Every structure is written in structure tokens, then in C-alpha cells.
Amino acid sequence: MNKIRYLPIAQKDLHDIILYFLDNLKSPKAAMEFIETLDKSVLRLKQYPYSCRLYQSQEPLEFEYRFLPVKNYLVFYIVTENIIEIHRIIYAKMKKPFLSCQSLLAIHISRRQRQNHWEKLVQACPLKL
């Protein structure tokens, strides 16, 4: 069985999503429902880590990214050995640039470095699903 690990930036994404539900929507119920749905969906990955669609980049990436739709969000993750590593949780309808530049992920990098690269990806690369 695989272990689930959230990168710090994915933890921040989740924190920001919950704050949005609480502060902007004033809906603790929606926040709890999102957390419950996310937990169920991510736990399912433990048994079926390759069940979600591959992210199709225009260029080859260092890692094989997959994405899991959860309500209006996409959970981007990679599978390494016995670990499912959650990299980002992004609003699916976001128009910000995101993930597709080989130059930013071409070298094998540590988890901390990957987090920094995700921040650059959000600024530099278009999302192509």
C-alpha cells in the first residue's frame, strides 16, 4: 500500500481553499464537505495510484504527473516507489499559467526544490489538460 505525502505548497493550497470557503463563502459546511471528499479521493489513490489521467505536457517532464479531479479542483501528484506525492491542489477553472515547461523540471530535484519550481511553473507555464 502506498503512503500519501503532501508537499508544503500543496498543504498551503489546501489551507487557502479552506480559508476561501470560510472567509469568502462563509460556509463551514462546504469546507468540511470539500475536506471529506478530498480525503476519500486521495485515500483511493493508495490502492489505485495510476487510476487518474496523466498530465499531457507539450514537452517531456522529469516526473509523470497525474491529476485527480475533486469537485472544482485538480490534485496534481506523482507516484514514486511507495509514495504518492501531492504537489498542488488547483482550482480547475483557474486561468493562471501552470505546468508545462520542460526547462523548469528537467533535472531531478529534491522535494524542497520541486516546491520552488512549482511556484515558478504557476507563473511561467500554461495549463494544458
Contact 64, 54 (CB under 8 A): yes
pLDDT per residue of the chain (129 residues) written in tens, 0 to 9? 689 999 999 999 999 999 999 999 999 999 999 999 999 999 999 999 999 999 887 777 778 899 999 999 999 999 988 899 999 999 988 654 444 433 233 223 445 555 555 555 554 444 443
**Biggest alpha carbon–alpha carbon distance for the chain:** 43
**Domain coordinates of the chain in residue numbers?**
3-124
pTM of the model: 0.73
DSSP code of 1? -
CA contacts within 13 A on the Cβ side of 79: 18
Domain range 3-124, CATH architecture: 2-Layer Sandwich (3.30)
Contact 111, 85 (CB under 8 A): yes
What does the DSSP assignment read for 26-75? --HHHHHHHHHHHHHHHHHHHH-TT-SEEP--SS--SS--EEEEETTEEE
The pLDDT, as a whole number, for residue 60 is 74
Q: Which three cell numbers stand for residue 80?
A: 514514486
Of 106, 72, 75, 91, the closest CA to residue 6 belongs to: 75
Contact 100, 23 (CB under 8 A): no
